[in-house]
Amino acid sequence: MPIPFIDLQAQRARLGQPLEDAIVKVVRSGAYIMGPEIAEVEKQLGVFGQAPFVLSCGSGTEAIQLPLMAWGIGPGDAVFCPSFTFAATAEVMPLVGASPVFVDVLPGTYNLDPVKLDAAIEAIKAEGKLTPRAVIAVDLFGQPADYPAIAAVTKKHGLKLIADSAQGFGCTLNGQHPIHWADVTTTSFFPAKPLGCYGDGGAVLCKDERLHDLLVSLRVHGQAVKSDIAGKTFDHDPKYLNMRIGMNSRMDTIQAAVLLQKLTIFEDEIAARNLVADRYAAGLGDVVSVPKVIEGGVSVWAQYTIETEDRDGLVAHLKAAEIPSAVYYPIPIHRQEIYSRYPAPGGLPVTDAAADRVMSLPMHPYLTPDHQDQVIAAIRAFVKRNG
């Protein structure tokens, strides 16, 4: 039986009939957009993620774009982010007219380097062409970035901080979720994420009620919200009174219904992912470079990513043994032609090196010890054969 890279069907079987009933309930209700499940999943995400305000939206990409719009970030502004991440992190800046500024990552965790971040902000300030406005830290592969250090840098420079937790929703650092340090946490519910729905979806978690109010408006075409019509008379649906330029970023009700079911087992799945990660570390730590988790951090292990000298050779070896693997990210964002025009002060040597060496192994809560032993044995055999 083939080894699945991510086994969504095993999870679906575990959730069983209640999941199917939840989907059918939405279908029968006719409330396909902004049905009651939307408000309920926002409430439960807030409880789980330690945030007083949650806005569901159409995708993880739009979850990042919405706060930039709410803060008025646009032309002439700089937003700092890693290059070693998916393009969605960086593409939102040009979408609002701002410029991404790429910053190197730490070896081992692959998350934003706070020292390099501070240096990059200083360099952009000294150049004087762009105005620093915000930082996007990414919880890459499922583990939290160094938020205490990053938040200290953003406070020093008066910048907003977004925790891009598309791969890391549920991760913690010293028991705290990223929103403890960040102005907002964003996440994606793309099906392959640790907490995924059955289509596209995302969410923005925040602590500021006024910001949340603006996000509610921006999510639905800039519609009027309570603060806009306080003391005024407007007896119609507020979506027909448009106070600002917004977008259409509503999450489908069916996706909220799926997430509500998945949230019932999410903590258990995080624990299971950590057992899988521990088995990998024990079986591979002496032959390849295995991931390092920040001290005090708990990863949700969206991916289990190793480093090896002959990455392409090992990928081919595993493929021949019918073992799946993946490479995230073979071309960092700053090396892609469309993004090469944007600044990367001081260069990104750690990012460039990682891009040539990393590969990810099968990782999900339902990976059996037998399947994992096959993966470990195949890697050890390759390393032994090739010295």
The catalytic site residues sit at 193
330 vs 333: CA distance, rounded Å: 9
Beta pairing partners, 305: 360
- For the chain, strand residue ranges (E) read 53-57, 77-82, 99-103, 131-138, 160-164, 172-173, 184-188, 202-206, 297-298, 304-307, 358-361
Distance, C-alpha 296 to centroid of its chain: 20
Among residues 196, 383, 371, 385, which one has the least CA distance to residue 306?
Answer: 383
Burial class (CB in 10 A: 0-12, 13-18, 19+), 205: buried
* Secondary structure class of 228 (helix, strand, coil): helix
Return left, alpha or beta for 88; rule: phi > 0 is left, psi -120 to 50 is alpha, else beta. Answer: alpha
What would the two tokens of residue 275 be?
């057992």
Asked if residue 274 lies in contact with residue 298, where contact means CB atoms within 8 angstroms, the answer is: yes
Among residues 203, 255, 178, 251, which one has the least CA distance to residue 66?
Answer: 203
Instruction: List Cβ neighbours of 168 (8 Å cut-off, separation of 6 or more).
Output: 139, 140, 141, 142, 143, 144, 178, 187, 194, 299, 300, 302
Q: Which residue in this structure is represented by tokens 């406070």?
A: 155
Instruction: List Cβ neighbours of 240 (8 Å cut-off, separation of 6 or more).
Output: 223
Among residues 20, 23, 57, 21, which one has the least CA distance to residue 42?
Answer: 57
Q: What is the DSSP letter of 142?
A: G
The residue type at 4? P
